[in-house]
Amino acid sequence: MSVASRKGLDNSNPLVYESVSQRELTEAEQNDDVVDKFDGREVFDMIRRINDPEHPLTLEELNVVQIDHCEVDDDKNRVVVYYTPTIPHCSMATLIGLAIRVKLLRSLPERFKVDVRIYEGSHVSEAAVNKQLSDKERVAAALENDHLLNVINQCLTIHKK
Amino acid sequence: MASLDLVQSLHGHDDRAWSVKWNPAGTILASCGSDTKIILWMEEGGKWSAKVTLTNAHQRTVRTVAWSPTGTYLASCSFDKTICIWKRDETGAFDSIATLEGHENEVKCVAWSISGEYLASCSRDKTVWIWTCEYDDEYDCLSVLHSHTQDVKKLCWSPSEDILVSCSYDNTIKLFKDDGDDWTCVETLSGHTSTVWSVGFDHSGNRLVSCSDDQTIKIWQRLGGEGDGNFGAQGWQCVCTLGGFHDRTIFDVDWNRKNGAIASAGADDSIKIFEEDLDVRDSLREPSFRLSFSVPRAHSQDVNAVSWNPVRPNLLASCSDDGSIKIWNYTQEAR
C-alpha cells in the first residue's frame, strides 16, 4: 500500500457537503443502568472527522463517509462501513480506507469484526481495494511502515476549526 | 460423540500470535507473533509453559516458524524481509546461526522439505525461493520462482517426495518440482475465488487441503496414479468443497497425518474439525467429509493458525489475534 505521489490533486475542486448536527443524547443514553449498544451513528461519529489526505476537509465534508453507510450489529459484533471516494479513479482510495480501518480498530472494542469497503459502484478498482483492505496480514505489514503510519496518523489528527 | 476440549491456555505474547508449530518429536511447541518474539513451550508435569524465548533476531513481526525434520533447526521469517535459522545445541539451547536475505518484501512463510535438504520461503514480493543447506550451515539460494502473480501466503512440502506447494493472494495453489535442471511450476490449482491462505498435505502426499478468504475449504486429489480413483481426469483435481461452515476468512488448515482429521480456523474465532465419511468411501465416487466438532468461540479474536501434534495426534495447538496460544484435546468419534 504505497502512498501515491502528490503531483497535483486527484480531484482539485471537490464538492463540499454540510456536516450533520451534533448527536442528541437521549435519556436512556445518560442512564448508566441501560445497556447502550453501538449504533451506526456512533460509528459515524468516530470516522466523520478523519481528514482527507489531500484536502483540508473531513471525510464527512467530502461525503466520503455517510451515516446511512455505517452498518452496526452490536449483538453479532459486526461493523461494516461503506465509503465513497470523491471520484471513481481516486488514487487515495486505499489510503482513505486504511485510515478508516485504523480509526475503527483503535476506537471500537476488540470483539468487533470490522469491514471497510468501497460503496458499490463508486470506484474503478473497487474489488482490488476491498481485497487489500480485508487482508489483515497486509494491513498489519502496512502499519509497520513508519512513513505510512505517519500519513495515517495525520489523517486521524483532529483539527479544531 | 467427538469433542475438542481445552487443555490449557498459554500467555506469553504481548501482541497478535501469528503461528504455532510442533517440533517433529511433538515435545516443543514454537509460537511467534507481532511482538517479534519466538516462544518455545514445553510440558512438565502435565502443564505447558514458556521455556525459551528467542528475541532480537527480527526487527518486525515474526510471521511463521518451521522445524527441520530432525528438530535440530528452527527457521523463522519476518516482515523485516529476513529469515533466521536457529540451531539447537547439546544443552537444548537455540542459537541464531544464519540470516537469509534476498526477499524484497515481507517474508510470509518458511518450510523445510521432508529430506531436510531444502528450505523454501515465500514473500509479499510474489516469489518463492528454494534454499539448500550445503555444509557448515551455509545456506545458498538454488532457485527463485516467479510463477505467482501476487503475494505468496503459505508453503508446504509433500511428506513423501520433494514436491513443494504454495498458495497465494492470486487465488491459486501451485506445485513445484525439480525437473533435473531447475525447479519449475508443474501444476496450478484454480478453484478458490479469493486469497488462498493455507494449504497442507495428508499423510500419503496424494491429497491436499486448502482454505481461503472465500470461506471454503477444498480437498484436492492426485488422480490417474496407481490405486487412485480416476474420474476420467489426470493430475490434481478438486474432489470436495466444504462451504457454509466458516462465515469469515479461513486462515489455516492442518490435516492430521495420524488420524486423518482436518482442523480449520479463521476470522470467525472458531475452530472446526472435519472427518472423512469412510462409510461412503468408494474409489468411483468423490470423497465426502463431514463436520465432526466445532468450537464457535475458540478464541476471543481471529484464530490465525492450527497445528496437530505429530506424535500425540489428539493434541491440537491454536493461536490468535488475542495473543493467546491454546492447546486442545480431540476425542475422535468411536467408529
Per-residue pLDDT tens digits for B190-220:
999 999 999 999 999 999 999 999 999 999 9
Report the C-alpha gap between B253 and B237 in whole angstroms: 18
Q: Given pLDDT bands bounded at 50, 70 and 90, which one contains residue B238?
A: very high
Q: What is the ipTM of this complex?
A: 0.93
Q: Which residue has better confidence, B163 or B136?
A: B163
Q: What is residue B173's predicted lDDT score, i.e. its pLDDT? A: 98
With pLDDT > 70 as the criterion, what percentage of chain B qualifies?
A: 96
Structurally, at CATH architecture level, domain A36-156 sits in 2-Layer Sandwich (3.30)
Q: Given pLDDT bands bounded at 50, 70 and 90, which one contains residue B57?
A: very high
Give the nearest partner residue to B61 out of A131, A135, A140, using CB atoms. A140
Q: Do A134 and B16 lie within an 8 Å CB cutoff?
A: no
Per-residue pLDDT tens digits for A144-154:
999 999 999 99
Which residue on chain A is closest to B267 by alpha carbon? A113
Q: What is residue A1's predicted lDDT score, i.e. its pLDDT? A: 41
Torsion of CA B28, B31, B35, B36, to 10 degrees: 80
Strand B38-44 versus strand B118-123 pairing type: unpaired
Contacts of B248 in chain A (CB under 8 A): 113
**B169 to chain A, closest Cα gap in Å:** 9
Beta carbon pairs, A and B, within 8 Å: 36
Q: What mean pLDDT is predicted for residues B287-302? A: 96
Q: Where are the alpha helices (DSSP H) in chain B?
A: none
Q: Given pLDDT bands bounded at 50, 70 and 90, which one contains residue B26?
A: very high
| Number of compact structural domains in chain B | 1
Per-residue pLDDT tens digits for A87-146:
999 999 999 999 999 999 999 999 999 999 999 999 999 999 999 999 999 999 999 999
Most A CBs within 10 Å, among B169, B197, B297, B303, to test the A interface: B169
Q: What is residue B278's predicted lDDT score, i.e. its pLDDT? A: 85
Q: What is residue A2's predicted lDDT score, i.e. its pLDDT? A: 41
Ramachandran angles phi, psi of A71, nearest 5°: -105, 130
Q: Which residue has better confidence, A9 or B297?
A: B297
Residue A159 clears pLDDT 90, i.e. is over it: no
Output the nine-digit C-alpha cell for B190: 484454480
Which residue on chain A is closest to B78 by alpha carbon? A141
Residue B94 clears pLDDT 90, i.e. is over it: yes
Q: Given pLDDT bands bounded at 50, 70 and 90, which one contains residue A12?
A: confident
Q: Given pLDDT bands bounded at 50, 70 and 90, which one contains residue A24?
A: confident
Q: What is residue A30's predicted lDDT score, i.e. its pLDDT? A: 78
Among the residue ranges A14-18, A69-73, B181-185, the one predicted with the least confidence is A14-18
User: For residue A4, what are the contacts with CB-CB under 8 A and spacing of at least 6?
Assistant: A91, A92, A95
Report the C-alpha gap between B61 and B18 in whole angstroms: 9
Q: Given pLDDT bands bounded at 50, 70 and 90, which one contains residue A19?
A: confident
Per-residue pLDDT tens digits for B142-168:
999 999 999 999 999 999 999 999 999
3-state SS class at A105: helix
Contacts of A109 in chain B (CB under 8 A): none
Most B CBs within 10 Å, among A131, A137, A148, to test the B interface: A137
Chain B residues 185-224 with CB within 8 Å of chain A: 194-195, 213
Ramachandran angles phi, psi of A147, nearest 5°: -60, -50
Q: What is residue A160's predicted lDDT score, i.e. its pLDDT? A: 65
Q: Do B153 and A137 lie within an 8 Å CB cutoff?
A: yes
Average pLDDT, chain B: 94
Q: What is residue B92's predicted lDDT score, i.e. its pLDDT? A: 86
DSSP letter at B314 equals: T
DSSP string across B268-286:
TS-EEEEEE-GGG--TTS-
Q: Do B61 and A136 lie within an 8 Å CB cutoff?
A: no
Closest C-alpha among B160, B198, B220 to residue B306? B198
Give the nearest partner residue to A144 out of B79, B108, B248, using CB atoms. B79
Average pLDDT, chain A: 89
Per-residue pLDDT tens digits for B67-92:
999 999 999 999 999 999 999 999 98
The predicted model scores a pTM of 0.93
Chain B residues 246-275 with CB within 8 Å of chain A: 248-249, 267
Q: What is residue B232's predicted lDDT score, i.e. its pLDDT? A: 56
Report the C-alpha gap between A127 and B191 in whole angstroms: 18
Q: Do A138 and B151 lie within an 8 Å CB cutoff?
A: yes
Q: Do A141 and B106 lie within an 8 Å CB cutoff?
A: yes
- Which residues from A are below 8 Å from B when comparing CB atoms? 110-111, 113, 131, 134-138, 140-141, 144
Report the C-alpha gap between A61 and A82 in whole angstroms: 16
Which residue on chain B is closest to A110 by alpha carbon? B301
Output the nine-digit C-alpha cell for A45: 461519529
Residue B328 clears pLDDT 50, i.e. is over it: yes
Q: Give the range of the structural domain holding residue B319, as residue numbers without chain letter.
A: 3-331
Residue B227 clears pLDDT 70, i.e. is over it: no
Give the nearest partner residue to B267 out of A111, A113, A140, using CB atoms. A113
Q: What mean pLDDT is predicted for residues A59-63? A: 96
Contacts of A141 in chain B (CB under 8 A): 61, 79, 106, 124
Q: Where are the domains of chain A?
A: 36-156
**Interface membership of B169 toward A (CB under 8 Å):** yes
**Interface membership of B170 toward A (CB under 8 Å):** no
- CATH at residue B123: 2.130.10.10
Q: Given pLDDT bands bounded at 50, 70 and 90, which one contains residue A4?
A: very low
**B165 to chain A, closest Cα gap in Å:** 20
